Amino acid sequence: MSGSRYLVIHGHFYQPPRENPVTGSVPEQLSAAPYHDWNERVTRECYATNARARIHGQNGRVSRLLNNYQHISFNVGPTLMAWLAENDPATAALIVKADQAGAIGHNGHGPAIAQVFNHVIMPLANRRDKLTQILWGREYFKKTFDRAPEGMWLAETAADVESLSLLSKAGIKYTILAQGQIDAIRPVTEDRSAPWEKTLSPVDPREPYRVYWGRGPHDYVSAFVYDGPVSRAVAFESLLRDGQSFLSRIEGAFGDRESSGLPRLVNLATDGESYGHHFQFGEMALAWVIDQLERIRPKSGDAINVTNYGEFLAKYPPRMEARLVENSSWSCAHGVERWRSDCGCHTGGQAGWNQKWRTPLRDGLNWLRDHLSFIYERTLADLLTDPWAARDAYVDVLASDYDPSEKERFLAQQAKKSLSKAESLTVWEQMEAQLMGQYMFTSCGWFFDDLTGLEPVQNLRYAHRAINLTEKYCDQDLAEGLVAFLRQAEPNDPAYRTGEDVWDKLVLPHHLSESRLSAHWAAAKLMGATESLGQFKYQRFLEADGQSAELDLEQCRVTLGRVTVSDPRLGESPRICLAHCPIGGESLRVAVFRPPNGQGPGPGQTAGSAPGHSSGPSSPKGTDNEFPASRFLSRVRENPDLLNDPAAVVRGFVDPALAPEIFGLEDLNPGVRKAILTDLVGDFFRDLKAYTEKSFNLCSDILVKYSDSHSRPDWLSRFVFRVVTEAKVASFIQKMKKGEKINLSKLAELANEKETAGSFQNEPVLTQAAQEYLATLLNLAKTPGARPTAIREALDFIAFLKQNRLPVDFWEAQNLWHALVMDGQFLGALEREPRQTFRDLGEALNFEWPTSP
């Protein structure tokens, strides 16, 4: 680094845990449409685009792609990074690569810093949870970036002295604070006796500070105080509308300190989502500023050193000490009250709304946490050497995504003795309950304006899962204890009287018991929708060989089988399921009960603790612990009326003490339910399509003439036209998704028909399929044998899309084309004609040629 001006731009990239506590998968969120959920949407708008930010040349074409993460300071929360690693591994890999490349360019100091694990407000946590949040955040960072973190982001920058002391003891060198979190400064001295200088205005953000937490010479954490005005302009004032405005504002923040000989640091910190999600193309404004400062400006001698906090701290240690405003944050003028009281901070809401519900929610979860902790410590005292040290070490299991070898290693290190299967299950249930106990304090649950919002409800679902895993280890009704607090909370939404309504309507119906999970398997098997079970991340449905049978009666379909739901977090849970659905699909019913074969209780259950569980072994009548599915269905064939009461059928066949649980379509997860409903109505729509298409073909010429003469056909004709056109669209979508070769002339006819049919109802799905198809062609271009054909077909397909005005996002295709350009072996293998076609393809994708790395 040269000169005296330095710039650090920090992005706090974070999404809360959104997964269903049982399945581990994020459910569909309609508000994020056309994407599946908000993680997916924000990734496309922000996280992925910042890893491949476009820089445009003078002719408006893309000249190069820049990985912004390499040049800024950033943290990616563990809950988000875990989701990216599974759902967008390419972007996750680019983020890790950016840290590695950034360290090379900044004297070994990578741009990534850690984050407290799941974004809890640290001053409101107890000491034990603070430590776990820090250690989990640190160790997850190590697993991700293969190095120890120098800095750590505190959720909402909320800080207290105890949290800073734990950061320091964990080896964290620095954190980031807001200007208002410092109320006094003084020079760093050995005896630390200098008087405090009260800051009458916000503290100067152009240098780092030491914040001491103890009397020892090393009892401190360094703190960077971000520039409030510039950061607010980025986050709230549309400063990212263009790169030049952004750069000019940065330059104006340096001020004049040259006479003192001190370096001048401008550092700003915002939610990373500002760059692309909150402000469209914000990542491009950021990339333009980086490109100007690192590639263009140095040639003019007007240098601003783009650096990161770790490198700056190593070069310029703090010369001033700062005094922390205890229990302060960056997003609440009242300290940390936003996360426990009706302090007045909100995101808009509606007139007359209040946030009084925050207090009983916080108090109730604190109460639950304390009871979970007591049960945890008491239950594991005889199994683990140090239960609390084991909880801190559990992050290794989490980071491995429950790898069996990591779980074995965990038990080998933490257990007092060799554990039985039942004892191991106890350990895993308690560890997962503690994980849920951390998740239920995710800060987003209090940040917004109503208890019925997605975020507080999600926190309560984690609380319910913790209760479900723990209740068999205590005599107290933990759910009722929590609900007693929720009754004191009054939601703003008039559809809910108290928090108890929120619990009953928005939390309990979403819980998936072991029996309910098994019902998904039976329903999907019966309806031929087993592919829909792929939406469950952790559950594996293992059908017992020779212990299932299916039956097609005149009036209904029936299946009976034995399934074991395997979950790597806990274990296995066997069930027997009887499912039937009348022809025509008026209803679907699944009866589920635990195999009466003497096996012990499944995860989260004890013998006799819930409906469907007996207190001891029993066997199907007339059998020896064997499940005779075919003989059972023979009885149903002889007397179909038995299916009018599937519970009675089961009770008449096995021990009456086993009361089956009954589930219907309404009890299934939306994805599985959608797949089954599609099957139920499939025959009807196939017949309708055939009849409508026949009618359409008889009058298509007339309808086309309507369009040609600029006349509008009557509503019935338009309806018929739309039905047939949509059916054709669906057919093309399926072919595109499978990567099958597309007949462009037929697709052109479809595009012309659009003029008569009006906008396609499923045009977003069509454009998404077209994007995927184009990506398939570009991926085929990597294969030598398919290369020339794939390149030509991709070019022709783009021309077709533009000619017929089908709105397709070429972003992913641009990424793939650029990656091929950067691959020297690929270009070297292209012969002259394919090379020119490939160049034409780049121009069609709005790239300059050649593209520099």
* Each residue's pLDDT tens digit, 735-776: 777 778 888 787 777 666 665 555 555 667 777 888 888 998
pLDDT band, residue 561 (cuts 50/70/90): confident
Range of lowest pLDDT (26-35, 82-91, 104-113): 26-35
Q: What is the DSSP letter of 559?
A: E
Q: Which of 678, 773, 760, 775 is nearest to 733 (CA)?
A: 773
pLDDT band, residue 616 (cuts 50/70/90): very low
* Predicted pLDDT of residue 650: 62
Dihedral over Cα of 213, 217, 218, 223: its sign? positive
Task: Round to whole Å and give the CA distance between 276 and 291.
Answer: 17
Q: What is the DSSP string of 591-641?
A: EEE---SS----TT--TTSSTT--SS----TTSSS---HHHHHHHHHH-GG
Q: Coil, strand or helix: which one is 823?
A: coil
* Predicted pLDDT of residue 583: 78
* Predicted pLDDT of residue 596: 67
Overall average pLDDT of the 684-701 stretch: 63
Q: Coil, strand or helix: which one is 31?
A: helix
Write down the pTM of the prediction.
0.90
Overall average pLDDT of the 543-564 stretch: 84
* Predicted pLDDT of residue 299: 58
Taking 60 as the threshold, does the pLDDT of residue 625 lie above it?
no
* Predicted pLDDT of residue 695: 62
Task: Round to whole Å and give the CA distance between 793 and 774.
Answer: 9
Task: Round to whole Å and give the CA distance between 270 and 32.
Answer: 22
What confidence tens digit (pLDDT) does each residue in 274-325 have?
Answer: 999 999 999 999 999 999 998 877 655 668 999 999 999 999 999 999 999 9
Task: Round to whole Å and give the CA distance between 432 and 412.
Answer: 18
Tokens found for residue 367:
């109460």
Asked if residue 841 lies in contact with residue 777, where contact means CB atoms within 8 angstroms, the answer is: no
* Predicted pLDDT of residue 622: 39
Overall average pLDDT of the 185-204 stretch: 88
Taking 90 as the threshold, does the pLDDT of residue 569 lie above it?
yes
pLDDT band, residue 170 (cuts 50/70/90): very high
Task: Round to whole Å and give the CA distance between 6 and 455.
Answer: 38
- On average, the pLDDT of the chain sits at 87
On the CB side of 770, CA atoms within 13 Å amount to 25
The count of other CB atoms within 10 Å of the CB of residue 225 is 25
Amino acid code (one letter) for 214: G
Range of lowest pLDDT (69-73, 508-512, 744-748): 744-748
In this predicted model, which residue has the larger pLDDT, 77 or 618?
A: 77
Pair type for strands 264-271 and 5-13: parallel
Query: 564: part of which helix (H) or strand (E)?
Result: strand 556-567
Residue 640 burial by Cβ neighbours in a 10 Å radius (0-12, 13-18, 19+): middle
Taking 60 as the threshold, does the pLDDT of residue 613 lie above it?
no
Displacement of CA 138 from its chain's centroid (Å): 20
Overall average pLDDT of the 385-391 stretch: 98
Taking 90 as the threshold, does the pLDDT of residue 205 lie above it?
yes
Tokens found for residue 627:
């499940």
pLDDT band, residue 56 (cuts 50/70/90): very high
* Predicted pLDDT of residue 604: 40
Task: Round to whole Å and give the CA distance between 820 and 830.
Answer: 11
Indicate the Cα dihedral angle 755, 759, 765, 771, nearest 10°.
50
* Predicted pLDDT of residue 142: 98
Tell me which residue has tokens 């072919």. Answer: 735
Where on the phi/psi map is residue 556: left (φ > 0), alpha (ψ -120 to 50), or beta? beta
* Predicted pLDDT of residue 43: 97
- % of the chain exceeding 70 in pLDDT: 85
